[in-house]
Amino acid sequence: MNVRSRWLIISVGLGVLLNPLNSSMVAVAIPRLQNVFQLNFTAISWIIFSFYIASAVSQPVIGRASDLFGRRKIFLTGLIVAFFASLSAPLSPSFGWLIVFRIVQSIGTSMMISVGMAIVRIHITEKQASALSVLTSFQSGAAAIGPFVGGVLIYWWDWPAIFLINIPFVLASFLLAWRTIPKEQPSGHAMLNQPVRKWLKLIDAPGIILFTVGLISLLVGLLAAKSSGHVSFVNASAALTGLVLLSAFVRHELKAASPFVPVRILAKHPALTLVNVEFMIVNVLFYSLFFGLPSYLQMVRHISEFHTGLLMLTLGLCSLIASPLAGRWINKSGPRPALLTAGTLMTLGAAWIVTFNEASPVISVCAALAAFGISSGLSNVGLQAALLHSSPKEIIGVSSGLFNMSRNLGAILSSLLIGIVMGDKFSFAGFRLLGVILTVIALSLVFMNWRRHQSRPADSASLSARN
């Protein structure tokens, strides 16, 4: 690999790490934001919802747009958008404006995520697997250390620092990307002169609107009912409207020529659907602990942001260590044993949370964090292998997009679960109840893996051949 290729990987890596870094740093910032804006947990949780909803919607759309405008232009534009959002967010006069800039930040960082891998695949042909693994390390490493970085920044400065820290990464990535990413002729150049109606049909604008408005309406209705303590006509209407719109979204996607979410593919390939459902459940479990534990430590146990971030390192580092080991294990035995182990560890980790009492040593949370971290590493690699095994080769790109959306939906549902369980204020009893619910969900995951038939060890040879 020549010097230019190495610098290209670094330039792209510095850009793609911004999405996982910003989605993970906020986990430690939630209690501080509650104090600053004088909001309850239900309201402040929109700092999480907004980011993942924007990512879920923008990533597939941007992937299509890159064919029209070129991946280099999309990547550089994403850096500019992220720069603007990171500079503006600390100046937010209200929480509403902070949400707006958070959405803009999510869209900007999603632009880099959507095209970063493709840029490396297209422009680096020598030792491509190594190059892609380095890029993956940027993403997974950023997600792993995000809570620690966020804790240090908030402890020594304040919440605006978790946005301003992006500026040096953006500037370095932009300068390097400008020099190292080759210019390209967009393959869809002829589409640029097409009428707006054709553009809207290409990106499935009606599907995007139905999905986004339906999901937000459902979240607003459910969270408002929990926050007020009773189900009002307005809350019930919002939730019902959300369900109706999401049902209409599914019907629309079944008929759409270029669907936002290829529901027909999911209906045609039940094994692929099962993998995505399982991945969504894994992320519900993981992000429930990821977002719930920092708030518990700071608001109930009164641990500082710095020490909370330090404890959260256990989760990320265990996931990082487990991932490469999981790859070797799955190559030999197939994904099923690793996924069974992952589900079992998550069950034990969630059950360990239930045993907590108000006098339990804070360091004991590391046992649950380690169990969930190892499980995350095993599940991510195992389910990616199961995805390759269950998806026909001709739709693997579409399947990967669905896989990423399942991750975002899992994160959204985890925040909804925390909001419903905790309500306005974090408490010890609420956190223990969350542990009970996570234990039940993890047990269902173990059952799903036990019943899995398409990814048995006997199929490992065929799986290796497909890889």
274 & 349 share domain: yes
Question: What's phi and psi for 10, nearest 5 deg?
Answer: -65, -45
233 & 114 share domain: no
58 & 180 share domain: yes
Q: What domain range includes position 109? A: 1-190
Q: How far apart are CA 293 and CA 68, in angstroms?
A: 43
Q: Does residue 35 sit within a domain?
A: yes
Answer yes or no: are the C-beta atoms of 58 and 82 closer than 8 Å: no
Confidence (pLDDT) at 195? 64
408 & 341 share domain: yes
261 DSSP 8-state letter = S
Q: What is the CATH number of the domain that holds 404?
A: 1.20.1250.20
14 & 160 share domain: yes
Q: How far apart are CA 30 and CA 419, in angstroms?
A: 13
The predicted-structure confidence for 318-360, as pLDDT tens digits, reads as follows 988 888 888 788 878 888 888 889 999 999 999 999 998 878 8
266 & 222 share domain: no
Closest CA to 402 of 286, 267, 290, 284: 267
Closest CA to 289 of 364, 340, 346: 346
pTM, full prediction: 0.84
Q: How far apart are CA 219 and CA 320, in angstroms?
A: 32
Report residue 207 CA to chain centroid gap: 21
Answer yes or no: are the C-beta atoms of 308 and 147 closer than 8 Å: yes
24 & 159 share domain: yes
Closest CA to 205 of 243, 173, 269, 249: 249
230 & 95 share domain: no
269 & 239 share domain: no
Q: How far apart are CA 20 and CA 248, in angstroms?
A: 31
Confidence (pLDDT) at 454? 45
Q: Which residues contact 405 (CB under 8 A, 6 or more apart)?
A: 56, 59, 60, 261
237 & 268 share domain: no
Strand, helix or coil for residue 231: coil
Answer yes or no: are the C-beta atoms of 28 and 309 closer than 8 Å: yes
Strand, helix or coil for residue 204: coil
Please report where in the chains the tokens 């995805």 appear, as a residue: 387
Structure tokens at 299: 């608001």
Answer yes or no: are the C-beta atoms of 323 and 377 closer than 8 Å: yes
Confidence (pLDDT) at 152? 92
Residues in the chain: 467
Q: How far apart are CA 384 and CA 439, in angstroms?
A: 24
Q: How far apart are CA 152 and CA 155, in angstroms?
A: 5
Q: Which residues contact 251 (CB under 8 A, 6 or more apart)?
A: none
The predicted-structure confidence for 427-437, as pLDDT tens digits, reads as follows 888 888 999 99
Identify the domain boundary among 157, 190, 223. Answer: 190
82 & 7 share domain: yes
Q: Does residue 146 sit within a domain?
A: yes
249 & 128 share domain: no
Q: Does residue 197 sit within a domain?
A: no
Answer yes or no: are the C-beta atoms of 116 and 123 closer than 8 Å: no
Q: How far apart are CA 111 and CA 354, in angstroms?
A: 40
Q: How far apart are CA 368 and CA 280, in angstroms?
A: 20
Q: Does residue 3 sit within a domain?
A: yes
Q: Does residue 195 sit within a domain?
A: no
Its sign, for the CA torsion 182, 188, 193, 197, is: negative
Answer yes or no: are the C-beta atoms of 318 and 374 closer than 8 Å: yes
Q: Does residue 199 sit within a domain?
A: no
- Other CB atoms within 10 Å distance of the CB of residue 351: 17
The number of domains in the chain is 3
Residues of the chain with pLDDT under 70: 1, 67, 126-130, 132-133, 185-196, 198-200, 227-229, 394-398, 452-467
